[in-house]
Amino acid sequence: MALPHDEVLPMHPSLSRPAAATVLAIALAAVGLGPAASPAAAATIPAGSGSYTDSRPAGTSGPTTNTGAPVTPKVTAAAKDKPVPTNDWWSSLAFQRYGDNPYSTPMYGHPLTYQATSGGLQVGYPTTPAIVGEGRQYEYAHKADLTLGLSGLNSPDTKADDWSDWTVTPYWSDGTRTLRTTIGHGMPFVYAKGSGGDARVTTASTPTVFADNGNVLGITVAGHHYALFAPTGTDWNVSGTAITAGLGGKDYFSLAVLPSTDALATYRKYAFSFVTGSKVTWQSTGGTVNATYSLTTEAKEGTERGTLQALYRHQWLHTSDALTSYTYVSPRGTMKVRESASFTTSQKNQGVLPALPASSGVDKARLTGYLNEVANASDPFSGASDTYWTGKALGKLAQLVPVADQIGQTGIRDKLLGLMKGRLQEWFTAGGASEFSYDKNWKTLTGYPASYGSDTELNDHHFHYSYYVYAAAIVAQYDQAWAADSAWGTMVKTLVRDAANPSRTDTAYPFLRGFDVYAGHSWASGHQGFAAGNNQESSSESINLSAGLVLWGAATGDTGLRDLGSYLLTTESEAIGQYWFDADQQVFPGSFTHDTVGMVWGSGGAYSTWWTANPEEIHGINVLPVTGGSLHLARKKAAITRNIAEMERENGGPAVEWRDILWEFQALADPAAAKSKWDAGNAGYAPEAGESKAHTYHWITTLDSLGAPDMSVSGDIPTSAVFAKGGVRTYAAHNYGSTARTVTFSDGATLSVPARSTATGTGTGGGDPDPDPEEPGPSTGNTFRLKTGGTLTTATDGAAGADTIASADGVNRDGTPYRPTVYEIKKVDGTYASGSSTTFRLRVDAGTTVALAPQVRVSYDLTGDGTFDRTETFRYFATDPVAGWEEYTQAVGTKAVTGSLGNLKGGTVRLEIWNALGAGTAQVQTGTDAAVLKIPFV
């Protein structure tokens, strides 16, 4: 019996307590998965020195329904030869996991949610979170506000007709009527093309009409505002919950969710600029990763080709492109709207090292002893036979090869390399007990023996194959001939094509199978057959693939794969920080009491894993494997500290079972604390299955010696990193090239690195360490800067910026926040300084617009319970009509004060600024000493 889920991992052998059932708001039915028939003979396909087959081994299964029946992609004839990107937010359109549902399960596009039915497309906009599973999960579950379709449509199924990087086009046909809709991440519109019937929208309850302009209708359903757009010259008819419009000989209509009713005019402008495709491009140069996200459009009426896009938090935090004042609610926090068909993000490259650099803190004799324990083990692979556990064993050995080399233990190094080559070559050769097989229907490569649904559900390929790519990259570092395409490199690249193909024209594998470029992270389920959408548990194993691509590309001279790895890792790093660790404390609902989630779902997140409710595994599953690709986690040091503290609270004390993983995690923020735990507990523990005492000892003692990673500095090659301790920066880089080179860091320091070597040193010409500008300041102290992104921080570095203050829309808003720009910090402790008062210093600019009036309200939730105990509304500031910054302070005086001040204990401080008058937008400066709130606490 097996659960129809995506990534159930078995209990680690060292677990002493029984696995607890995780409470999820999804029904998981236990079913049997029987083998499907296999052809009698299979062809062997050469791949350099390796090979794979074009058919599964006898007695094994490929993709199946939940009853064990073989299943093929559910696509239209137009898409039958196009590789399906399984493991996506909409995969249930193409993978009919459940035999009684030929349509889809809920799909979470954000801000809208969707579900295909016989009559068309359900559309919802969930804005209120539910806390379920005994407080362990938050979700914005799909609930249909309306269904978009055609009069009389009754389709027997829904198929995928077309797709691009983050959009998809579902297709319905009942023999008389056909319907196509285009939907996507960040799209407030649904674009429809239909034939054989009138446009029909059926609402879940009787709608309120707030605008009726013939072919443009504004309605409110369940508190959410929608606009319906039919071709010019037609008219919408409302009858109860049925809304219809003849299409006047045309075949198009559209729908949009509005952030407010007064946004109708703006959204009407783009109603007939139909999105036809989406594409991301990326570039990694000089320590920076830039990515541009573009939509292609077609003008159904007029000439307008622009559109509106809602950006996720991980995107708008890293764009300098102009955004509107419109926002949406989502499970990933606030989404902000851009009025354009494209936007660009820019982030520092998150460096990857093959191993932490040499340091004086490592006792070479002790480390040698630990290395020999692994190299001389009777079974270094611990009995692993399937793709996942073999991968973990390969990963364990791969981490030790550069460590052994670093201390001169070349014999151990070469023995480990020999073990890795032997096992990789076994898997990379068809016909043995383990092999890879290609499925021409699903256009995927599956390793057999498979595990955790990697065969029947197409789950987790990026997890499993990450270890093979990473291990191959370490081999390539020492043996370039082995990694040549004519040798074993072609098989490595074939695994990459399956899990993270950068090509959109490859007819054998889909583009980036598991990585959702707009969501910013990967998905693990191949079928997405859950009420909560798709999910990903071990985001760190997804990062492992990205890091492996960086190292493999660098080692083999494939700059395309190297830069792909940099883009994937840098993008997913921010998504992990925001959506798994809630690093800025701006994503998880206030009613959700956890500081981290083990799993991210389309609908939200869960403090859980697939296989246990043990806090150590919940916190550790998004850390392992710890490698030179894990350094990115140090960007969010405060989140690491909160994460470890919560684990120990939930666990009733420090880690026992996965202590090595969590020690290594803590060392990225507080090496001394991690070293203390290692010193006290290293004698009597069993390493996690993918770990070793050799690697854990080297990791912790090196960071204790050099300091935690300093993520405020990046090198101009992706295989570089910086560490800081006691005011001293240590620079490290690995040069895979055949000639020496100088690596330049963003603080001006340089480091000379010999050919095919790692170098480390204090650099030449660098500056002193500064706090990480991407790291929110500690929630103590009484002076906070406004930071773009809606946060207050005690950090005093970072670039100056500006946020838009929305228009008052010509209405007097004096004293009442209207679409305010909000800045907030949570979990603040402080003692009220009696007699002191709130002060602030802000710079605002209304440009040349006359009669705008920025106004501030400061609120205090003293205990963090969600209720503000004190609010202070200040008088508005009369701006001048001359472009340029003007200073606004508390000296204007208060307009209204409610409640009383007291001590802050885990409290929340919020500053809101809005325009009280006028009909234009203004700006408020961020990130400088002229953007400061000081609270009356010590």
Q: How many CB atoms lie within 10 A of CB 39?
A: 10
Radius of gyration of the chain (CA): 28
- Residue indicated by tokens 């921010």: 574
124, 130, 132, 134 alpha-carbon torsion, rounded to 10°: 180
Q: How far is CA 471 from the centre of its chain?
A: 24
* Contact (CB, 8 A) for 510 and 443: yes
Tokens for 782, please give them.
């009484």
C-alpha span between 22 and 605 (Å, rounded):
13
CA atoms within 13 A on the CB side of 506: 19
**Distance from C-alpha of 214 to C-alpha of 227, rounded to nearest angstrom:** 12
Which residues are catalytic, by number? 460, 537, 541
Measured CA to CA, the distance from residue 203 to residue 216 in angstroms comes to: 16
Distances from the Cα of 1 to the Cα of 6, 530, 584, 829, 876, angstroms: 14, 19, 41, 51, 66
* Residue 181, number of CB atoms within 10 A of its CB: 25
Task: Note the helical H segments in 306-409.
Answer: 313-316, 364-375, 387-406
DSSP 783-828: EEEEETTTEEE----S--EEEEEPP-TTS--TTS--S-EEEEEEEE
The tokens of 449 are what?
């023996």
State how far Cα 825 lies from the chain centre: 22
Burial of 536 (0-12, 13-18, 19+ CB in 10 A): buried
Three-state SS letters, 226-240: EEEECCCCCCCEEEC
Q: Write the CA distances from 433 to 426, 428, 429, integer angstroms.
A: 8, 11, 10
Residue 207 near residue 330, CB atoms below 8 Å:
no
